[in-house]
Amino acid sequence: MTVLRFTKHYETPGKVASAARHHAWLAEHARPLRLPVLTVVGPTSLTYEWIDGRSARPEDLLTLAGLLGDAHGAAWTSDLRPAALNTPHRFQDGTVFGDYVGPRQTALRRRLEQGYLPDWVALQAMLALLEKTAEGPTAFYKDSNPRNFIITEAGDVYTVDTDDLTLAPMAYDLAKLIATLILTYGPLPTESVNASLQAYNKAAGRHDARLGATDRERLDDFLALHAVLTAPYAGRNGYRHSGAPHPYPGGSA
């Protein structure tokens, strides 16, 4: 029987090593996530087992929200409890997670330069919103867009494209999933978004009650950030819709 593989190529050996460490960290500390097996580590490539399935759809949101909450809760309990959102975190095995604030400050300033924010005042408002959300227990961010989940015919969910992890507040990655589902499929019912947040909080809260406290206002803050951060990708890579409401309609997003 032929065993299918998927090989991903990287620009440098350092990026290979970082991606492999992030995969290994998730496999150990976010065990609710099912990952393709990493079979070969090459000088400039990683080879994984091939998973046959489809990308996530809106009807999968509730399941994926619970999965993310469970994974974030497990990771906080096992390894992320001491991590601070405004400081890159280095683990004993050499794995490094970028901080939550710094990279997003840079990205928001770039959005102003690109025309996705109308003026300096709007940028300052988004930077203030970012600072406001940089509190509470620390989770990881893995860019939970629909293409980064593979759902098999049997209903098993695999998480892929885990090369670049950063720190983030609880539910920030859930908001990314919601935002990119909207970009891909169009508006989601309010009831579905509320139910997904409830499922996330319930799953995270099973690990520690403090982890299940994200309210809808905070989720909306995350969605506002994602609306600006993902604005350049609208109309590209399968993102056919305009996405979540842009907090600054004067911008070109």
Report pLDDT digits (tens) over 33-48. Answer: 999 999 999 999 999 9
Q: What pLDDT is recorded for position 193?
A: 97
Q: Is the pLDDT of residue 246 over 70?
A: no
Sheet of strand 5-9: strand arrangement: 5-9, 45-49, 38-41
pTM given for the model:
0.93
Q: Is the pLDDT of residue 138 over 80?
A: yes
Q: Is the pLDDT of residue 10 over 80?
A: yes
Q: Which of 73, 38, 53, 237 is nearest to 158 (CA)?
A: 53
In whole angstroms, give the CA distance from residue 40 to residue 16.
11
Whether CATH 2.70.70.10 fits 53-233: no
pLDDT band for position 57 (cuts 50, 70, 90):
very high
In whole angstroms, give the CA distance from residue 182 to residue 199.
19
- The amino acid occupying position 97 is F
5 versus 249: the higher-pLDDT residue is: 5
> pLDDT tens digits, residue range 83-95?
999 999 887 777 7
Q: Is the pLDDT of residue 250 over 90?
A: no
Averaged pLDDT, 1-17: 86
Q: Is the pLDDT of residue 253 over 70?
A: no
Per-residue burial over 31-54, b = 16 or more CB atoms within 10 Å of its CB, e = otherwise: ebbebbebeeeeeeebbbeebebe
